[in-house]
Structure 1
Amino acid sequence: MAVMGRTSTVHRKTSETDITVTLSLDSPASATSATGHGFLDHMLDALARHGRLGLGVQATGDLHTGPHHLVEDVGITLGQALHQALGDRRGIERYGSAFVPMDETLAHVVLDLSGRAHLAFEPERLDVWGDVGGMTHYHLREFLRGLCNHAGITLHVRLLAGREAHHVIEAVVKALARALRDAVRITSDDLASTKGLL
């Protein structure tokens, strides 16, 4: 089972944001995030560390209007980079699942690198309060929606305990990272699909 250089670089520019993402699925965990939003940088660093990814994100955005455009567009660009780095997805484990606690919070993330985009985001139905530098769990939802749509991920996010936004967002991101770490692993020479295509 040979692991090829599963890397990518994606640049995406709109009238609202300018983002470059570099991604390596097989290099040691490293992160260089500079988005202008401290908590988003912290979450991207956590994604790299717990997902054992080489991840670089350089971004600017219209933060004077709030973090929505920046957070969503980083998710989109990361999704595009992940899609490219996965290539034809041959040999990947495909599925991943992780529970992550953070104090009173417990998050569960299950994903399938199926090539089909779907997001089930349970925290939006719950009473999650607060924000971190203006970023709420709704911004996390938009980040994940962009990631799923552009990487072709089926993603289920469950919040089993917790109400404070900081802990909820961080636990979800760390659970995503650990589930993704498992799903991208090369474990065979075949496609994990009866269709012969992912």
Structure 2
Amino acid sequence: MRKAEVTRNTTETKIHLQLTIDGTGQQSIKTGVGFLDHMLELFVRHGRFDLTLFCDGDTEVDAHHTTEDVAIAIGRAFSESLGERRGIKRYGSMLLPMDEALVMTAIDISGRGMAVVELAIPSEKIGQQFDTELVEEFFIAFARELGATIHLHQIAGKNSHHIVEACFKGFARALGEAVAINQAAPDEIPSTKGTIQ
């Protein structure tokens, strides 16, 4: 099974997580940021990953360090679980509706970490703690740590919660597709270079 355990301790956050890629959507998540917990629960369920995650962060400052560092830790866990990327489909995409919101997500586990996030989120905050600018920070950190190109493009949407939820659900579905084993070539690294680094 493709699994990883990651511990990341800094002066700003202390994180411990266990990830199973080939899971069923089981989760136990406590970041100290309620909206982030909600998004990660959706991510795990829709990607059918298993994730246990605890973060003790400086949320008395704001949710920035917690959100970014959690993304780093999860991205690192996926990277470690996938190893040399042998057998994965590599690409995944999803066009996901969430009520009036519609978001297109695409991912290439290429070894090159970058995120292109084009969202027009109307409110600056969701809930008490979560600044909506942190959505982009999350996906930038995740992409960098996994070594993946991630695109998130909002096509429609007026409700901030719906737009962000469509991002996390769509990303989960696209990532689930990208990390799935290609049954036609289960032992091949999906690159003409022979490596994904």
TM-score range, shorter chain: over 0.9
Q: How big is the shift at 1:130?
A: 4.2
2:176 to 176, 181, 188: 181
Once the two structures are overlaid, the 10-residue window that deviates more, 135-144 or 168-177, is: 135-144
CA RMSD of aligned residues (A): 1.1
Q: Does 1:128 align with 2:122?
A: yes
Q: Which amino acid is the alignment partner of residue 135 of structure 1?
A: F
The separation in 2 between residues aligned to 1:195 and 1:156, in whole angstroms, is 23
Q: Which amino acid is the alignment partner of residue 110 of structure 1?
A: A
1:140 to 132, 135, 141: 135
| Equivalence for 1:55 | 51
| Structure 1 outlier segments of 4+, above 3 Å | none
> 1:165-194 deviations in whole A, cap 9, x for unaligned?
211111100000000010000112211110
Q: Which amino acid is the alignment partner of residue 102 of structure 1?
A: M
| Equivalence for 1:194 | 192
Mapping for residues 1-198 of structure 1, pairs under 5 Å:
5-123=1-119, 126=120, 128-133=122-127, 134-187=129-182, 188=185, 189-198=187-196
Percent identity between the two aligned chains: 41
The separation in 1 between residues aligned to 2:31 and 2:149, in whole angstroms, is 26
The separation in 2 between residues aligned to 1:85 and 1:103, in whole angstroms, is 34
Q: Is the 8 A contact 1:136 1:165 kept in 2?
A: no
Q: Is the 8 A contact 1:128 1:162 kept in 2?
A: no
TM-score scaled by length of structure 1: 0.94
TM-score scaled by length of structure 2: 0.94
Helix, strand or coil: the match of 2:141?
helix
Structure 1 residue runs of 5 or longer lacking an equivalent are: none
The separation in 2 between residues aligned to 1:128 and 1:146, in whole angstroms, is 23
The separation in 1 between residues aligned to 2:94 and 2:2, in whole angstroms, is 23
